[in-house]
Structure 1
Amino acid sequence: MVVGRVTAQDRRQQLIDAAIRVAEREGIAATTTRRIAAEAGARLATVHYCFRSKQELLEGVLSAIITELSEAARGHVRPGHDARTLLHDGMRALWVIVEKEPGKQQLTYELTHYALRQPGMESFAQWQYETSYAACAAHLEGVAAAAGIVWSLPLPVLTRMLMTVIDGVVLGWLVDRDSLSAVAALDALTDLLATLAVQPNGAAHPNG
C-alpha cells in the first residue's frame, strides 16, 4: 500500500487543528509549540518548519475560526431575497456554529486578552479585529449586491456596529448560556440593520 506524503498545507492545517484542541482544553497560555506537536503527533521541528513563530500559528488558529463563521453566513447570501431575509439567515447560520463550538468562540476572546498582555503581541489583537471587520464587511457587501440595495451608513461604521453587538451577545451567552435571549437579541439586530438598507436611488427598501 502506497501512502501519499502529507503536503505542507495539510500539515499546517493539522497543526492548527491541534492548536485549537489544546487551547480549548488548556487555555492559550498553556498552548506551547511542544504541546501542539504532541497533540498533532508531529515532531517539534515540524511545528517550527511550518510556522515561523507561535504568533503565526495563532494567526492560523484565528483565521480558521473566522473563516468558518464567515463562510457559514455567506453561504446563505442568495440573489432574489431581501436584505432582512439574507441577514437573518446568515445570522442564524453563524449562531448554529457558536452553539455547536462554544470552546472556539471563547478562544477568540482569550486570544485578544492574551495578545494585549504579551509584550510585542499588541499588533496581533489589532490584526484579529481588522480580519474580523474585513470578513463582516465582505458579508454586508454580499448582502447588498444580492438584495440590490445600498447601506445608508458608511460600511466601516456599519461593520463596527454589527461586530460589536455580535461580540457582546456571544460573550454574554458564553456566561449564561441563555440561547433564547441571545437569538432574540440577534434577531432584533438584523431587523435594525434591515432598516438601513435603501434602494440605490436613496428610497428605503420596501422589505428591508
Structure 2
Amino acid sequence: MDLFGESENWEKKLEPILSKYKDRKHPLEYQNTYQLMVMVILSAQDSDANINNIAPLLFAKFPTLSSLIDTDIETFMSYISKVKNYPTKAQWIIDIAKKLKEDTEIPSTLQGLTALKGIGRKSANVILRENNKPTEGIITDLHVIRVAPRIGIIKESKDGNKVEKDLMQLLPKNIWSEIGMAISFLGRETCRPKPKCEACMLNDICNYYLNEVI
C-alpha cells in the first residue's frame, strides 16, 4: 500500500538517502565473495560487528571454500563459537563448501544463491549488490523492516519477504540495487528504534515524523 498515493514519486522522495548512501560498502568487512558469503550466513540473527570481530582469525585459518572441504566441523566451530546458532551455521557452510568446492563456483544469481543452505533472499540480495550483479530484489534487513513502514512507503510487517515484495511493487526497478541498503543505513544511523527525527534528511516526507512527532 502506498500511504501517500504517489508511488511514481518515491524515487524523488528517497533521493536524499540514495545520494548519500549510493555505493557505500556493506558494514561486513569482507575481502572477497567467499568471505562475504560466509559472513552473511554467520550474521543472521547476529550483529555485523560480532562477525567482523571473528573474521580475521576465521579466514586466516580457512582462506577459501576448498580449505573447508576436509576440515573437521568441531575445528571449524571453534572459530565461530561466539556466533549465534553457530553449530547449524557451521554445517551449512561446510555443506556449501563440499557442494561448490571452489570460490569461483559461488553463484551470481538470486536463484543460485538461495539454493544454498543458509542463504535466503536477503542474504542473496546483499551478495549480489556487493558484487555489482544484476538486481533481482531489494535488500530487506531488520532496519528496512522497521524504517520503510515508518517513513510510510508500505504497511508494517515483520515478514521480511513480504516487506521486500511490497517495496518491489512500489519502487522503480532502477533503484532496487541501492534503496535497500540506503534505507538500512538510515536505520542504522538516524532512524533507530528511538529515532533521531530532527536530524533525519527524510523528515519532510516521513509519515511518522509528520503525524506523530510534529
Q: So what's the TM-score if we normalise by structure 2?
A: 0.29
Structure whose CA Rg is larger: 1
Name whichever structure is richer in helix by fraction: 1
Q: Which structure has more RCO (C-alpha within 8 Å, separation ≥ 6)?
A: 2
